[in-house]
Structure 1
Amino acid sequence: MTPAVELRDVSVHFGRTVALEGLGLSVAAGETLALLGPSGSGKSTALKAIAGFLRPTSGRVLLGGRDVTDLPPNRRGLGVVVQSYALFPHMKVFDNVAFGLHARRMPRREVAARVAEVLDLVGMGSFGGRYPRQLSGGQQQRVAIARALAIRPPVLLLDEPLSALDAALREEMVAELLRLRAELPGTAVVYVTHDQGEALALADRIAVMRDARLVEVGATEALYHRPAESFTASFLGASNLIPVEVVDAETVRVGGVSVKASASGVEGPVVLGVRPHRVGVREYRGSGLAARLVAVQWRGTGFRLELELEPGLESGVGPVLGVGRRVRADVVDVGGLAVGALVEVSIPDGCPLVRVA
C-alpha cells in the first residue's frame, strides 16, 4: 500500500549547519508516527520538510506516492498545528476555522456546515463567536486543531502542540487527541514531541531522533520494552545504563551478580537497560548486589533513590563491571533507609541489552 507520507533520504543543511541528515521514514494512512527527541534533534525540521516550510537540501518528500518536494505548502493539502497555535487574533473562532475553506473557494453554505462539524468534533461548538483572546490555552489549541481538520487533510502534522499547556491541560488534550484519532481512522498523523509520555500515549510507532539523525524507529510498545540503542533506552523511559560482563546469550554479570537479560540479537559493545521502577532496594543482607544510598527525592507518589553500586562487603569481589555506576530507583517507600546506608539492589530478569551509541 502506498504510504501517506514518505521521506526518502531527506537532508536539510543551512550552510555548514546540519539540521537533518539522511532521514528515511514512511507513515501509513491511519497511522500515528511520533518524532521524538531532544531540542536540536531534527524532529521539527523533518516536519517542516513534510509541510513544505523548508525545502530539503537533498532527498525527496512524497505524499500519497506523489512527489511534492518542489510544491509550496498551500498546494500540499496538509493540516498543520504548531505549538503557538497561530490563530488570527482579529478573527473570531468561526472565521479562523473557515480560513482554509475560503481559500479553497468552498461555497459559503458548505463552509458553515463544515466549520460547525469540526468545532463540534473538538468540543468547541458553542465558541464560534468568540475571539482567541477570550479562550484558554487548551481551547485555543482545540480551535487550531479544528482549523487543520476543516480541510479534511489526509495527513495531519502536529509540531509540539501541547508544549505551551500546563500539566493538567496536557493530560486533557492527550485524551482529546486519542478520541480524535478514533474519529478519523483514515488520517495519517505525524506528531513531533520531546515528551515521551505523549509519544507513548498517542503513537503507533515512534521514531527516536538525535543530532539531526534517526536513531531508531519501531512499534511503540516494542521500542519501549526492547530498544536496540542506548540512547533510545535512556530517552524513552529513562533507563539506567549499566555496564555488564556478557556471560552467554542470556546471562550477564554486574557487580559479581548474574542476571538473565534479553539480548534480542544486539551486537557490539552493550549495556544493560534497567528502568528505575524495576530496580528493587532493601537493607543489605550480604548476598546480593551492594550499593550505597547517595540521595533521596520525594516525588509525591513515591521516592527517587540515587545509588552507587559497589562490591559486596563479604564477597571480596574486586573491580568488576558496573561497580561505581550510579543507578536510579523509583520506590513507593524508603523503608527507613537513610542516605549513606549500604543497601542491596535487585535487578529483574529480562531487562534488555542495548547497543552503546
Structure 2
Amino acid sequence: MTAAVEFRGVSVHYGQTCALAPLDLSVARGETLALLGPSGSGKSTALKALAGFVRPSAGRVLLEGRDVTDVPPHLRGLGVVVQSYALFPHMRVDDNVAFGLKARKTPRAEIAARVSEVLNLVGMGDYARRFPRELSGGQQQRVAIARALAIRPDVLLLDEPLSALDATLREDMIAELLRLRAELPDTTLIYVTHDQSEALALADRIAVMRDARLVETGPSEQLYHRPSTEFTAAFLGASNLIPVEVIRAGTVRLGGRELAAEPMGEFGAGQAVALGVRPHRVGVHPGTGAYTARLRGVQWRGSGFRLDLDLELGGEPCPVRAEVPSVDGLPAVGETVGVSIPDGCPLVAVGGTG
C-alpha cells in the first residue's frame, strides 16, 4: 500500500548548519506518528519540509506516492496546526475556520455547512461569532484544529500544539485529540512534540530524533518498554542506565548477582552495555535489600516520592532514580537503603552516538 507520507533522504541545511540530516521515513494512511525529541533535534524542520515551508537541500517529499518537493504549501492539501495557533485576531471564529475554504473558492453554501461541521466536531459550535481574544487558550487551540480540518486534509500536521497550555488544559486537549482520532480514522496525523507523555498517549508510532537525526522508530509501547538505544531509553521514560556485564544471552551480572535481561540486539565482547530500568520499577526498602544505596535526595510529588540514590556496586557509585508511592520508615538523606532491581529490563548499548 502506498504510504500517506514519505521522506526520501530529506535533508535541510542553513549554510554550514545541518538542521535535518538525511531522513528516510514513511507514515501509513490513518496512522498517528509522533516526531519526538529535544529542541534542535530536527523534528519541526522535518514537519516544515513536509508542509512546504522550507525547501529540502536534498531528497524528496512524497504524499500518497506523489512527489510534492517543489509544490507550494497551499497546493499540498495539508492541514497544519502550529504552536501559536495563528488565528486572525480581526476575524470571528467562523471566518477563521472558513479562511482556507474561501482560498480554495469553495461554494458559499458548502463553506457554511463545513464550518458548522468542524466547529461542532471540536466542541466549538456555540462560539462561532466570537473573536479569538474572547476565547481561552484551549478554545483557541480547538479553533485552530477546526480550521485545519475544514479543508478535509488527508494529512494533519501538528507542531507542538499543546506547549502553550497549562497542565490541566493540556490533559483536556490530549483527550480531545484522542476523540478526534477516533472520529477521523482515515486521517494521517503527524505530531511534533518534546513531551514524551503526549507522544505516548497519542501516537501509534514514535520517531525519536536527536541532533537533526532520526535515532529510532517503532510502535509507542515497544519503544517505551524495549528501547534499543541509550538515548531513547533515557529520553522516553527517563530510564536509569545501570552498567552491567553480559554473562550469556538474556543474562547479566550486576554487583555480583545475575539478572534476567531482555536483549534488544547482539552485543560484542567487551561492548559497554547497561540495563534500562524505569524509576517506578526500582524497589526501595528500609534496611537491607539485594543491593545497597545511599539516599542522596527526596522529592515529594503528591502521588508519591522521587528518590535520588547512589547505588553501591563496589566501584564508583551509580546514580539511580526511583519513584515510589510511599516509603515506610524513610531514612534521612545520607543514610543507606536496600534496593531491588527486577528481572526482564531491556539491555541497551551505551557510549555510542545514538
Pairwise TM-score range, normalised by the shorter structure: over 0.9
Q: Secondary structure at the match of 1:21?
A: strand
Counterpart position of 2:52: 52
Distance, in Å, in 1 between the alignment partners of 2:317 and 2:254 is 11
Deviation at residue 255 of structure 1 after TM alignment: 2.0
Q: Secondary structure at the match of 1:221?
A: helix
Distance, in Å, in 2 between the alignment partners of 1:306 and 1:254 is 19
Counterpart position of 2:169: 169
Instruction: Write the mapping of 1:34-49 to structure 2, written as runs, cut at 5 A.
Output: 34-49=34-49
Q: Secondary structure at the match of 1:126?
A: helix
Counterpart position of 1:234: 234
Q: Would you say 1:355 and 2:330 are equivalent positions?
A: no
Please point out which of 274, 277, 280 is paired with 2:277.
274
Q: Secondary structure at the match of 1:216?
A: strand
Distance, in Å, in 2 between the alignment partners of 1:283 and 1:300 is 21
Distance, in Å, in 2 between the alignment partners of 1:284 and 1:13 is 56
Distance, in Å, in 1 between the alignment partners of 2:185 and 2:285 is 48
Counterpart position of 2:311: 309
Deviation at residue 257 of structure 1 after TM alignment: 2.4
- Name segments (4+ residues, structure 1) moved above 2 Å: 264-269
Percent identical among aligned pairs is 73
- The verdict on how the C-alpha distance between 1:147 and 1:102 changes in structure 2, with shifts beyond 3 A counting, is same
Deviation at residue 284 of structure 1 after TM alignment: 3.1
Q: Would you say 1:331 and 2:324 are equivalent positions?
A: yes
Counterpart position of 2:80: 80
Match of 2:342, as an amino acid? P
Aligned residue pairs: how many? 347
Q: Secondary structure at the match of 2:248?
A: coil
Counterpart position of 2:194: 194
Contact 1:284 1:344 in 2 (8 A): yes
Counterpart position of 1:5: 5
1:90-121: CA deviation from partner (whole Å, max 9, x where unpaired): 00000000000001101111100000000000
Deviation at residue 338 of structure 1 after TM alignment: 1.7
- Bigger shift: residues 199-208 or 325-334: 325-334
CA RMSD, Structure 1 to Structure 2 (Å): 1.0
Counterpart position of 2:296: 294
Distance, in Å, in 1 between the alignment partners of 2:68 and 2:264 is 38
Contact 1:266 1:353 in 2 (8 A): no
Instruction: Write the mapping of 1:215-230 to structure 2, written as runs, cut at 5 A.
Output: 215-230=215-230
Q: Secondary structure at the match of 2:9?
A: strand
Structure 1: which 5+ residue stretches go unaligned? 312-317
Q: Would you say 1:342 and 2:336 are equivalent positions?
A: yes
1:315-355: CA deviation from partner (whole Å, max 9, x where unpaired): xxx54xxx511000001112222211211110100000012
Contact 1:3 1:27 in 2 (8 A): yes
Q: Secondary structure at the match of 1:309?
A: strand
Match of 2:37, as an amino acid? G
Contact 2:227 2:264 in 1 (8 A): no
Q: Secondary structure at the match of 1:10?
A: strand
Distance, in Å, in 1 between the alignment partners of 2:332 and 2:152 is 58
Distance, in Å, in 2 between the alignment partners of 1:278 and 1:266 is 25
Deviation at residue 266 of structure 1 after TM alignment: 3.9
TM-score, normalised to structure 1, is: 0.96
Distance, in Å, in 2 between the alignment partners of 1:249 and 1:199 is 32
Distance, in Å, in 2 between the alignment partners of 1:38 and 1:83 is 15
Counterpart position of 1:130: 130
Contact 2:93 2:128 in 1 (8 A): yes
Distance, in Å, in 1 between the alignment partners of 2:211 and 2:287 is 42
Deviation at residue 264 of structure 1 after TM alignment: 2.8
Distance, in Å, in 2 between the alignment partners of 1:272 and 1:349 is 10
1:282-331: CA deviation from partner (whole Å, max 9, x where unpaired): 1233x6211111111111110000110114xxxxxx54xxx511000001
Q: Would you say 1:151 and 2:151 are equivalent positions?
A: yes
Contact 1:293 1:341 in 2 (8 A): yes
Deviation at residue 256 of structure 1 after TM alignment: 2.1
Deviation at residue 175 of structure 1 after TM alignment: 0.3
Counterpart position of 1:97: 97
Counterpart position of 1:283: 286
Distance, in Å, in 2 between the alignment partners of 1:83 and 1:255 is 47
Distance, in Å, in 1 between the alignment partners of 2:35 and 2:272 is 26
Contact 1:89 1:133 in 2 (8 A): yes
Q: Secondary structure at the match of 2:127?
A: coil
